[in-house]
């Protein structure tokens, strides 16, 4: 079922009140990454990208930049045909306002298919803390109209279904993976112990018109770090923070071997960070055409802490992880991207007064690295994200002062 195009010139007061009543979890999943602009306090004003706390962006095959972001109870989608200088009028994806997780590690996601189909997902917080539903909508006409959003998790209890990752392949298959607490809730009702959450996924073979039954990849994932999904040979590869033993928070990877069959779960990091809480600090991954994976993450173990990078080779072996960034300047939230043998790492630091975005570059597929350089500064910014149009790399950074920035990177 398609919905009519909704472009809000001004939010009606009744909608704002309805959104407010949905609860204080709306647009919040991590306090430390809030991007606040005083001019955005009045949510009766028209939806503006500069007021989005946590946008996501992607280029399509025609070099059009697409964005998904939340404002006043709606997920909006708009685009830019001039590399982020100007943007189209935003289109609301969900007809009715609802709570939307849009901060830090948990934000709306967007993906674009080969036929310019637009896919959007987000987490809808529920009335109980740390709970939610995974929501999904799609457009088959280039973002003019979006389908009525659906709940992808088939367990509809007031439980944790959050931090989703969205992936599509060239065939139009749609995958969603997320952190799920349904099994933890059942275990605790029976008096059993259960650490963390579980990693679940759902698959659609009809471009998102419907999803097959949810399936579990593994128990005992970390509860609230972002999940990352990429495609390799049209099949998903998922990277996430896992729990080993009682409370060792290291990272794991699974590569699907069939459309609806994950392979063996592999342990990626061995930093042995022992912590009985979720650090809100997920990993990132970039997949090269030859099945070489570039992986990055943060850990804070006493003997092995800071930002790390490694490669998963096509034969399934891992290189020794290297440490980067300035740990004493709170280096955090690394992102990685490759275009052929060129690889970029980007992360955030804080000097006590202002935040900065740092970059490190490799021209030999991550075997060696040039010196790190500072590329941007601000007093209140979102996490940085890398993206490319297939030819050039960019850094996305949303700040309170300047709004959405797309920073081109030189080779």
Q: What digits encode the pLDDT tens for the residues 150-190?
A: 999 999 999 999 999 999 999 999 999 999 999 999 999 99
Q: Tell me what pLDDT residue 3 has.
A: 40
Residue 8, domain member (yes or no): no
**Are residues 225 and 359 located together in one domain of the fold?**
no
Is residue 60 predicted with pLDDT exceeding 70? Answer: yes
- Give 410's pLDDT tier (boundaries 50, 70, 90): confident
Residue 19, domain member (yes or no): yes
* pLDDT tens for each residue of 1-43: 334 333 333 333 333 333 333 333 333 333 445 566 777 888 8
**Are residues 232 and 376 located together in one domain of the fold?**
no
Measured torsion, CA atoms of residues 146, 150, 151, 153, in degrees rounded to the nearest 10: -90
**Are residues 319 and 359 located together in one domain of the fold?**
no
Q: Tell me what pLDDT residue 36 has.
A: 61
Do 320 and 366 form a contact (C-beta atoms < 8 A)?
Answer: no
In which domain, by residue range, is 362 found?
294-306+329-411
Residue 390, domain member (yes or no): yes
258-263 contacts: CB < 8 A, separation 24 or more?
259/173, 259/203, 259/205, 259/235, 260/203, 260/212, 260/215, 262/201, 262/217, 262/238
Q: Tell me what pLDDT residue 43 has.
A: 81
Q: Tell me what pLDDT residue 35 has.
A: 67
Residue 3, domain member (yes or no): no
**Are residues 314 and 208 located together in one domain of the fold?**
yes
Q: Which helix (H) or strand (E) holds 130?
A: none
Of 137, 48, 34, 49, the C-alpha closest to 95 is 137
Mean pLDDT, the chain, whole residue set:
91
pLDDT over 90, % of the chain: 86
CB count within 10 Å of CB 261 equals 10
**Are residues 246 and 322 located together in one domain of the fold?**
yes
Do 271 and 320 form a contact (C-beta atoms < 8 A)?
Answer: no
Residue 121, domain member (yes or no): yes
Q: How far is CA 280 from the centre of its chain?
A: 12
Residue 100, domain member (yes or no): yes
**Are residues 298 and 324 located together in one domain of the fold?**
no
Q: Within a 13 Å sphere around the CA of 179, how many CA atoms are in the beta-carbon half? A: 27
**Are residues 324 and 363 located together in one domain of the fold?**
no
Q: Tell me what pLDDT residue 9 has.
A: 33
**Are residues 187 and 255 located together in one domain of the fold?**
yes
**Are residues 95 and 79 located together in one domain of the fold?**
yes
Total structural domains within the chain: 2
pLDDT over 70, % of the chain: 91
Q: What is the CATH number of the domain that holds 242?
A: 2.120.10
Q: Are strands 235-244 and 293-300 parallel, antiparallel or unpaired?
A: unpaired
**Are residues 227 and 366 located together in one domain of the fold?**
no
What is the DSSP code string of 140-197? SSSSS--BPPEE--S--SSS-EEEEEEEE-TT--EEEEEEE-HHHHHHHHTT----SE
Is residue 96 predicted with pLDDT exceeding 90? Answer: yes
* pLDDT tens for each residue of 372-408: 999 999 989 999 999 999 999 999 999 998 999 999 9
- Determine the average pLDDT of the residues in 243-251: 95
- Determine the average pLDDT of the residues in 59-70: 97
Q: Tell me what pLDDT residue 296 has.
A: 98
* pLDDT tens for each residue of 338-362: 999 999 999 999 999 999 999 999 9
Cα–Cα distance list, 230 to 237, 251, 298 (Å) = 5, 16, 19
**Are residues 107 and 241 located together in one domain of the fold?**
yes
Size of the chain, expressed as the number of residues it contains? 411
Do 218 and 243 form a contact (C-beta atoms < 8 A)?
Answer: no
Q: Order across the sheet with 56-59: list the strands.
A: 56-59, 65-71, 74-80, 91-92
């Amino acid at each position: 079922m398609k919905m009519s195009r909704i472009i809000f010139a001004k939010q009606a007061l009744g909608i704002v009140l309805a959104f407010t009543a949905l609860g204080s979890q709306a647009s919040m999943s991590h306090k430390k990454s809030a991007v606040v602009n005083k001019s955005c306090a009045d949510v009766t004003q028209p939806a503006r990208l500069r007021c989005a706390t946590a946008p996501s962006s992607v280029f399509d095959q025609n070099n059009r930049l697409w964005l998904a972001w939340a404002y006043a109870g709606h997920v909006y989608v708009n685009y830019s045909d001039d590399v982020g200088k100007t943007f189209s009028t935003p289109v609301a994806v969900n007809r009715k306002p609802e709570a939307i997780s849009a901060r830090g590690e948990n934000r709306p996601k967007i993906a674009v298919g080969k036929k310019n189909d637009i896919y959007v997902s987000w987490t809808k917080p529920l009335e109980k803390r740390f709970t939610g539903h995974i929501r999904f909508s799609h457009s088959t006409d280039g973002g003019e109209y979006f389908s009525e959003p659906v709940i992808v998790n088939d367990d509809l209890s007031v439980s944790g279904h959050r931090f989703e990752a969205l992936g599509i392949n060239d065939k139009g298959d749609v995958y969603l993976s997320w952190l799920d607490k349904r099994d933890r809730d059942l275990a605790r009702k029976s008096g059993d112990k259960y650490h963390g959450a579980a990693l679940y996924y759902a698959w659609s073979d009809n471009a998102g018109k419907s999803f097959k039954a949810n399936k579990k990849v593994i128990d005992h994932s970390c509860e609230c770090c972002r999940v990352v999904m990429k495609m390799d040979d049209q099949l998903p590869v998922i990277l996430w923070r896992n729990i080993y033993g009682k409370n060792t928070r290291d990272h794991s990877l699974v590569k699907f071997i069939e459309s609806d069959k994950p392979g063996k779960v592999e342990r990626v990091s061995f930093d042995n960070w022992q912590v009985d809480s979720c650090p809100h600090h997920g990993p990132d991954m970039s997949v090269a055409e030859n099945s070489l994976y570039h992986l990055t993450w943060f850990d804070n173990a006493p003997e092995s802490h800071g930002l790390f990078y490694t490669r998963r080779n096509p034969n399934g072996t891992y290189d020794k992880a290297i440490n980067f960034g300035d740990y004493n300047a709170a280096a955090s939230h690394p992102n990685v991207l490759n275009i052929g043998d060129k690889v970029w790492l980007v992360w955030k630091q804080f000097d006590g007064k202002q935040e900065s975005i740092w970059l490190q570059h490799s021209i030999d597929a991550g075997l060696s690295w040039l010196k790190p350089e500072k590329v941007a500064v601000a007093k209140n910014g979102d996490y940085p994200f890398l993206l490319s149009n297939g030819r050039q790399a960019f850094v996305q950074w949303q700040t309170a002062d300047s709004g959405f920035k797309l920073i081109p990177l030189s080779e």
